[in-house]
Amino acid sequence: MQNLKALSYDLRKNVIDMIVEGKGGHIGGDMSVMDILVELYFEQMNISPENMDDPDRDRFVMSKGHSVEALYAVLAAKGFFPIEQVIKEFSKFGSKFIGHPNNKLPGIEMNSGSLGHGLPVCVGMALAGKMDGRDYRVYTVMGDGELAEGSVWEGVMAAHQYKLDNLCAIVDRNRLQISGCTEDVMAHDSQEERWGSFGWHVISINGNDYKELKAAFDEAKTVKGSPTVIIANTTKGYGSSIMENKAGWHHKVPNAEEYAQIMKDLEEGKEAALHE
């Protein structure tokens, strides 16, 4: 079986190259969400370039669309398009590889980036699956800063109302957003209590740990009669001490010295993962 943790470090390096080449990108959130995406695409979801038009495929929406670089890296690793093309063309004039998900690209279900839209749309996708008698599952990843959007909670209520047990939401709980700490910008208190009060099945994990990610997604598939949310406690900028837990790396391009150190840290992380 492929070492997903080692793979995640390689994909993080691809993201760094993408952002340097494109001269911009949401680097911190890319690093925190990468393990969630790798687990979903390589272990959990029924989705590939071969079945991307199959009505029974699983659906994924990157609601925190500003972390598109991580999604591009994962989709490229799955074979949807060449990573070399992504790195070369990212954020260039006329490119389809823009700074938020673009459904003109294979493997992307919807355009996103206006925060608060992913979950409500996924409620519709999951409800359609129920109405059509299909057994596909629907997943969306949201940022914790995004949860200040009221449309999220309308979706939360609707998902409970329609008992959408084919829907799984993931919160990338890295506790930082562009303006600083989420608890200073719009305090969340206990996410577990909030989602639970809306009738969702709640699972709280370390979102950068593959054993916990696998167990959480496997558990979500067994839940009947209610949607599931995974509160994935992650580290923003995960993989390099230069970036970790620093709000300034929400959107930033590393200079040459920072680039060298980040790549060194990521390679060391990969080597450690290979020897675990």
Rounded to whole angstroms, how far apart are CA atoms 267 and 246? 21
Secondary structure (3-state) at 203: strand
Rounded to whole angstroms, how far apart are CA atoms 226 and 159? 8
Rounded to whole angstroms, how far apart are CA atoms 73 and 87? 9
Neighbours of 135 (CB within 10 A): 10
Q: State residue 9's pLDDT score.
A: 98
Angle at 78 between CA 76 and CA 81, to 5 degrees: 35
Angle at 88 between CA 83 and CA 93, to 5 degrees: 125
Nearest to 40 by CA among 70, 23, 68, 60: 60
Single-letter amino acid, residue 233: N
Q: What does DSSP say about strands 138-143 and 59-62: parallel, antiparallel, or unpaired?
A: parallel
Secondary structure (3-state) at 230: strand
Neighbours of 126 (CB within 10 A): 25
Q: State residue 114's pLDDT score.
A: 86
Rounded to whole angstroms, how far apart are CA atoms 78 and 95? 20
Q: Which residues of the chain have pLDDT under 70?
A: 1, 175-177, 179-180, 184-185, 188
Q: What are phi and psi of 35, to 5 degrees?
A: -65, -35
Q: What are phi and psi of 2, to 5 degrees?
A: -65, 140
Q: What pTM does this model have?
A: 0.95
**Helix (H), strand (E) at residue 125:** helix 118-132
Q: State residue 180's pLDDT score.
A: 61
Q: Where are the beta strands (DSSP E) in the chain?
A: 59-62, 138-143, 167-173, 176-177, 180-181, 201-206, 228-233
Q: State residue 185's pLDDT score.
A: 66
Q: State residue 250's pLDDT score.
A: 86
